[in-house]
Structure 1
Amino acid sequence: MTTILLVEDSLTETEVITRHLRQAGLNVISVTSGEEARIQLQSQKPDLVILDVILPGQSGFELCREIKTNTSTQAIPVVICSTKGTEADKLWGSMLGADAYIPKPVDQQALMQTIQQLTSVY
């Protein structure tokens, strides 16, 4: 089963995105901060990471850069999912290694298409 690591500090967004993913038959692990995400990434490698940009402590952009520069996690696709949807934000995410950028509120169909494109197991 495909496992998605969802890094989102909003309980409402977590519930909505988790519901979309589980309806598609995906396993979801959700955490609320970059620190929790790092701990999770050390113990279990997900098939894909969905990252909010605005997180407590470290930003999603910073975490994306960490994931993509670490040899043990750099192959994991990263999707940034944020209300910060300007072209500058999308470009910055891309420069830091994000594989895709999805604006909030999340469109279920766009999310599923993106996951399908980035994972071979879905």
Structure 2
Amino acid sequence: MPNDTILVVDDSPTEQRVVVSALQAKGYRVITAADGDEAIEKAGREQPRLIVLDVVMPKKNGYQVCRQLKSAPETQHIKVLMLTTKNQDADKFWGMKQGADAYLTKPFASDELITNVTRLY
């Protein structure tokens, strides 16, 4: 059963802070992870309602993380918003094919992020 937490996964501390600040300003409870392995571990343990997931990361990329989360019974219900610099149509297609519920590219406007989060949350 998901809780009311959002997990923000990004290996860039600056990008992570921007996303976390935007979400916290709207009252969301946020936890973070800095790589794919940590994201999978925290998703399983914390059962967040939503994951904001970067694609380009060390250890496991966002596509691998999304595919693993969506194929595991204990995490497949968690919504995934990919937030990435990978902005080609093929990138978005591949992200959605891995199970992402939404795909947003960087740079992004805070209101665009919040609109997507609200829709998925």
Query: Which TM-score band (shorter chain)?
Result: over 0.9
**Residue ranges of structure 2 left out of the alignment (5+ in a row):** none
Partner of 1:105: 107
- Could you give the per-residue CA deviations for residues 24-53 of structure 1, whole angstroms, max 9, x where no partner exists? 000111110111112212221001001100
> What is the letter of the counterpart of residue 18 of structure 2?
V
Secondary structure of 2:32's partner? strand
Q: Which runs of 4+ in 1 moved over 3 A?
A: none
Secondary structure of 1:29's partner? strand
TM-score by length of 1: 0.93
How many residue pairs get matched? 119
- 1:17–1:106 CA contact under 8 A, matched in 2: no
- Could you give the per-residue CA deviations for residues 83-112 of structure 1, whole angstroms, max 9, x where no partner exists? 011110000001110000011112111111
Q: Distance in 1 between matches of 2:104 and 2:39?
A: 19
- 1:7–1:51 CA contact under 8 A, matched in 2: yes
TM-score by length of 2: 0.94
**Residue ranges of structure 1 left out of the alignment (5+ in a row):** none
RMSD, matched Cα: 1.1
More displaced stretch, 91-100 vs 33-42: 33-42
Secondary structure of 1:78's partner? strand
Question: Alignment partner for residue 57 of structure 1, among 50, 56, 59?
Answer: 59
Identity %: 39
- Could you give the per-residue CA deviations for residues 31-83 of structure 1, whole angstroms, max 9, x where no partner exists? 10111112212221001001100011111000000011111111110000000
